[in-house]
Structure 1
Amino acid sequence: MSKTINTGVKLDETLHARLKALSTAKERTPHWLMKAAIEQYVEREEAYEREKREDQERWQRYKLTGQAISNEAVDAWLASWGSESELPCPK
């Protein structure tokens, strides 16, 4: 079981009123909405950072090896999707 930690968030009056109205409409507490929003944001940003790190690794590998997959090979592979003669992923 993970430990929970209380963290405060300061909101201006307008945003606070919007949050309360939305929580009423959703039949959820403002706390639930804030936690869900923060979780979604963190997951999205973590995915972005993973993708960015992978892109940097791919770029470094390309700079070292010069190996790349041509646009034509990728286009042909994508065009074959869903057909009876689907091509393997180019490498």
Structure 2
Amino acid sequence: MATSLKIDDTTKDRIRRLADARERTPHWIMREAIREYLDREEARESFLTDAMTAWEAYRETGRHLSGEDALAWLATWGTPDERPAPKCRD
């Protein structure tokens, strides 16, 4: 799919300089920048969706894990005394 993109001269120059420094084409730099942006924004959107799903589940059930329980559990990670995840409270 061919797509055109209008960008200002300053941005074109920045892309050209970076492409030269990386021994890549300006086209490759732009494709990579778009791919990285999409990856980041899709991950952000997924995080927000997961957070809203968790919030709705909490509102419906009241089940939760206290910050103290979570921190105590996380403090054991990577130690010989590593504990399993604590149970949620009602």
User: TM-score w.r.t. structure 1 length?
Assistant: 0.91
Q: Helix, strand or coil for the counterpart of 1:19?
A: helix
Is 1:65 matched up with 2:68?
no
Uncovered stretches (5+) of structure 2, i.e. residues with no partner? none
Uncovered stretches (5+) of structure 1, i.e. residues with no partner? none
1:4-83 mapped onto 2 (5 Å cutoff): 5-83=1-79
User: TM-score w.r.t. structure 2 length?
Assistant: 0.92
- Give the Cα separation in 2 of the matches to 1:25 and 1:83: 44
- Give the Cα separation in 1 of the matches to 2:18 and 2:80: 49
Which protein has greater RCO, CA pairs closer than 8 Å, 6+ apart? 2
Could you tell me which amino acid in structure 2 is paired with residue 18 of structure 1?
A: R
Could you tell me which amino acid in structure 1 is paired with residue 66 of structure 2?
A: S
Q: Helix, strand or coil for the counterpart of 1:61?
A: helix
Structure 1 segments, 4+ long, off by >2 Å, are none
Output the aligned Cα RMSD. 0.8
Provide the aligned length of Structure 1 versus Structure 2: 87
Could you tell me which amino acid in structure 2 is paired with residue 51 of structure 1?
A: F
